[in-house]
Amino acid sequence: MTQAERLDRTFAVLSDATRRAILARLEREDGLSVSELARPHAIKLPAIMKHLDVLDDAGLIARSKEGRTVTVRLQPKPMREAMDWLRRYERFWNTSLDRLTALAETREAELRKAGK
Amino acid sequence: MTSLTIIRRIKARPEILFDLLVTADGISQWWGPDAGPVLLSESDPRAGGHYRLKFRTLSGVDCETTGEFLEVTRPERVRMTWRWVGDTDASLIEMVLRPIPEGTALTFTQSRLPDDATARGHEKGWNGSLDKLEALFR
């Protein structure tokens, strides 16, 4: 899967308020069980399971089974990639402005040395 | 997210900085993520004039950027449009230079073009998601 395809998938998954709420909750309390996750939402467990399948397929969470309990954990990588994409201009310009600063300060120093 | 502002205090007089901001020679020396080779640099720094810069990053990717100068007031302010060739999203870039005792305070702002309604619509759609995304990394 290309980076563009992964980004498409991450943003598509994030376009649903319930799924974002699930991720935000996991960010505060990582490692909740499925039933604990379902509790504050006014929707039924099967619907939550469906959202968890979508999040799992997109690599945003991982589920592990211990006995009868399924634990859900955040997987940060796709989200980082999405953030990097959103911040691409900031990175581009900060790097460029670093180079501009070095260049201008060198020229200024040269002019001063020449007594101008 | 609708705009990006970066402020730098630079130990150089505004005139030196200004020429680096708008001339073909100047632009070719600092735009871009690294010191990869510049393949083409053209600039006509006056209102209505265009610029074009093509460079290759050190990782071997060719990038081309182009736009139009909207305002060129030496050595105080430059406003111009900016976009990657092949990308539909256009931005507005404004650079304001203010003299300070140690040199120049440069305020760089990149924002959406006001008439780019489609892009704005997308932006609006993402802003809510972005807030949540950011919350996840705080």
Instruction: Yes or no: say if B81 and B93 are a contact pair by the CB < 8 Å rule.
Output: yes
* CA distance, residue B65 to nearest chain A CA (Å): 13
Is residue A107 situated within a structural domain?
no
Neighbours of B37 (CB within 10 A): 11
Instruction: Yes or no: say if B30 and A94 are a contact pair by the CB < 8 Å rule.
Output: no
Instruction: Yes or no: say if B62 and B112 are a contact pair by the CB < 8 Å rule.
Output: no
Give me the domain span that covers residue A9: 3-87
Question: In this complex, which of A83, A89, A108 lies closest to B11 when CB atoms are compared?
Answer: A108
The Cα–Cα gap between B54 and B35 comes to: 13
More confident call, A29 vs A3 = A29
The Cα–Cα gap between A8 and A58 comes to: 10
Give me the domain span that covers residue B46: 3-137
- Nearest to residue A49, comparing CAs of A66, A32, A67, A37? A37
Beta-carbon separation of A108 and B4 below 8 A: no
The pLDDT value given to residue B131: 54
Q: Which two tokens stand for residue B35?
A: 């010191």
CATH of the domain at A61: 1.10.10.10
Beta-carbon separation of B110 and A111 below 8 A: no
Is residue A42 situated within a structural domain?
yes
Is residue A93 situated within a structural domain?
no
Q: What's the total number of domains in chain B?
A: 1
CATH of the domain at B14: 3.30.530.20
Is residue A61 situated within a structural domain?
yes
pLDDT digit string (tens) for A34-88? Answer: 988 888 767 788 889 999 999 999 999 999 998 989 999 999 999 888 888 778 7
Question: In this complex, which of B1, B31, B137 lies closest to A96 when CB atoms are compared?
Answer: B31
- Reported ipTM exceeds the 0.85 cut: no
